[in-house]
Chains A and B, each alone.
Chain A
Amino acid sequence: METPDTLDESDARFTWKEMNPLPQFFDKFFFLKKGYSVLAHVLPFGVASLLLLTLSVPQDNILLKLILSLERPGIWLPAALLSIVSTSVYVISVYVQVRKAYLFESGNKPRTAGTCLLFIFLCTSMGYAVLKSVSPQAFTPAGVWACFLVSILSLTGVGWSTPTTWIDVLGVKHPDYRESQRLVRLLTDALNSIRAKPRSSKDDVTRILSYAGNLCTELEKNVDCEPDWARQHISEAGNALRDFVAAVTDTFSNAEGPVIEDFAQVMNCRKGFQYEEVVNALKALSRFWLEWQCS
């Protein structure tokens, strides 16, 4: 089958959406993988509940005192700073987990934003519900801010090791693509440097084969941790990578002289007739990693 020369992001998204519409759709805006993020938030939510209980149950309702304090302009600046820092810590914690769990970086930002907004909203609502039960008149901007502050301080715990350990004990695993992403970066750099050369050497072939082979192994390790609906996409990427490694090995690993020199141009998708299998494998691969597309 002919592989198109270039594919833009919309093509990739179309393929993505076509395979498993519903979970894939939610997965674009929410860190879904086997409910990992939900479980990861259970402990911070527990902390938030405990905190709210501790603050609101005593006679001198500390939550109300916090609201009163936040109504004074003098405290706005430190409170705002605390809110911003806590939110940043929380967002970064979630982003780090999302990056670790997803092989392809595209979509990580909206996914992180969606996940953070949802849990902040839930946790703040929980705080507001407690507040309303103890003090129905407290629905003011300062009241919302106080609930937000309590919830965000609890949610920063999502990045601690305890929630992760707890999920591990439950036997729920999400894939860890950090090594894969490092290999993808190395492969991209190697590919770009080879593409800029007029002729390649045996070392170039060895380098590409080594990175691509290791990436294959990494993907195989992680694919079992993927939920069923995401596994197909990763498997397809892994297969495309394996085909590429096989084609490069067949054509170039034992080659000499001009054939080895041609490798640089083949990585530019030139000499497509002579090295049809390798060029087609590279084009198929660049459907998954758009940065590998030939110019």
Chain B
Amino acid sequence: MNRKNLEYVLALASKPTGKPSILDWCPFGKDTLDAIINKHNQDYLASLREIPWSANLIEEYGQFVAVVNYDLSEVDKIDLAQFRSIKFVFANLNEIATAGSAVEQVKAAMNQARRRYYLVQISKKPPRPSELSRFTPSPVYTSRPEVIDDQHKLEQWLAVFYRFYNYAISEAVPPSPGGQGAQGIAGGSSASTTALVGESKPRSWTRLFMDYRPYELFGGSGEGEGFLLRRSPVDIASEVRDTAIQKSFTEKETRALTRKAVLQEKALGYVQASVSNSLDLKTGDELFLDCLRKPMEEMTLDDEYFERTPTLEVMTLKLAQPLAELSTTQSALCSQLRLSKRNRHVLLRSSPATLEKIKALKNVIEMHQAGLTLPFDATDLLV
């Protein structure tokens, strides 16, 4: 089976003498890093099979852990693309105290990669004091506990981490053609399975998925600034998991947040499809919807963004002149409105601040306003 969805571990530790790879590092003097990660993945796979998920579902939506094959002395050789796949940094506290430049390089790269990662500080007993301050400011979350001095604690933390992913992904995965979703046959599952996936989805939630076709709606290569629109359930679930863990959400809250996030993507998908038709886009034109999306960390469980507003008032902005001909002030305002290219159409919701900026750019941009009615009512999906 191919492992499609992988989140990578970067180990800030030295490879053992005489061994070719960091995979042979024994963080707690017991199992190697390779064995620990392998065991975690096997346990996680077993939990997915217990749900029960089919091999195809596991391949498509299961999320596993892999190790970046570079050690502390080789951090400078890792390219940006690989940094973008790193989710965990396992820092060996016994070594990083004397490895200043490597820590700085990781911080700089993670900042550049705009990737939020989890810092797992590893220390043999007795535990050393946390070095979290050395990793800030950078987009870092920390493990709980901050310093892990025992293999069992690390395994437990990883298990909890992926349990939250399971909560989210089992909500985010559309139902299979047979009418059953990722949690599928949950009715006949064991108590431990219920702990992982919980109760069945409400019928209306399942109905909402019936025309959930994100890839068909968005098409394209997946590259570029607008790529977040084509978010897969895996990406949504990962982001929900991170937010839920940071906000100490319960299972129920995690599921509710997932539903809100999926709903937002669905609404954006509908907006894009509708606006694309009405704007008569030419080849090379780009529709930019990121400004419509509410960031996950700003979402709360009781706010209403798409759920109770079936009619959306949307503005479409486009530069009427080449960017080079604008004054400095106009350029700065355009940049704030994300109008960085001549052929980009930016979609926004109207707000007093936005209208002020648009007024200041009166002769520079073209604006269209449209009222869109979402083809679904999601008011009953909030909890």
Contacts and interface: CB of A to CB of B under 8 A. Distances in A.
Interface of A: 195-199, 257-258, 261-262, 264-265, 268, 270-274, 276-277
B68 interface: yes
Contact of B69 (A196, A262, A273, A277): A262
Given A198-B20, A265-B23, A272-B34, 12 more contacts: A197-B20, A199-B69, A257-B82, A264-B21, A265-B21, A270-B21, A270-B34, A271-B34, A273-B37, A273-B38, A273-B64, A276-B1
Contacts of B341: none
B90 to A, nearest CB: 16
Nearest to A199: B69
A261 B69 contact: yes
A199 B41 CA distance: 22
Nearest to B40: A273
Interchain residue pairs A-B with the least CB separation, the first 10: A273-B41, A270-B23, A270-B34, A198-B20, A273-B38, A274-B3, A274-B66, A198-B21, A265-B21, A258-B82
Interface in B76-109: 79, 81-82
A196 B20 contact: yes
Nearest to A264: B20
Interface residues of B, number: 23
Nearest to A256: B81
Contacts of B34: 265, 270-272
Interface in B43-64: 45, 64
Nearest to B44: A273
A190 B347 CA distance: 57
A295 to B, nearest CB: 10
Contacts of B1: 276-277
Q: Which of B15, B23, B45, B69 has the most CB of A within 10 A?
A: B69
B42 interface: yes
A270 B68 CA distance: 12
B20 A271 contact: no
A273 B20 contact: no
B82 A271 contact: no
A198 B6 contact: no
B67 interface: yes
A257 B82 CA distance: 9
A197 B20 CA distance: 6
A261 B68 CA distance: 10
A196 B66 CA distance: 21
A67 to B, nearest CB: 64
B15 A271 contact: no
B35 to A, nearest CB: 9
B34 to A, nearest CB: 5
Interface string B250-279: 000000000000000000000000000000
Contacts of A195: 20
Contact of A268 (B6, B21, B37, B64): B21
Contacts of B69: 198-199, 258, 261-262, 265
A274 B23 CA distance: 13
Interface string B1-27: 101001000000001000011011000
B81 A257 contact: yes
A65 B199 CA distance: 103
A272 B64 CA distance: 12
Contacts of B24: 270
Q: Which of A196, A198, A199 has the most CB of B within 10 A?
A: A198
Nearest to B20: A198
Contacts of B81: 257
A154 to B, nearest CB: 55
A277 B1 CA distance: 7
23 contacts: A196-B20, A197-B20, A198-B15, A198-B20, A198-B74, A257-B81, A257-B82, A261-B69, A265-B20, A265-B69, A268-B20, A270-B21, A270-B34, A271-B34, A271-B66, A271-B67, A272-B38, A273-B3, A273-B38, A273-B42, A273-B45, A273-B64, A274-B3
B68 to A, nearest CB: 7
Contacts of B23: 265, 270-271
Contacts of B41: 273-274
A33 to B, nearest CB: 41
Given A198-B69, A258-B82, A274 B6 contact: yes
Contacts of A261: 69
B59 to A, nearest CB: 12
Nearest to A251: B2
A276 B3 CA distance: 9
A255 B121 CA distance: 32
B147 to A, nearest CB: 27
A265 B1 CA distance: 18
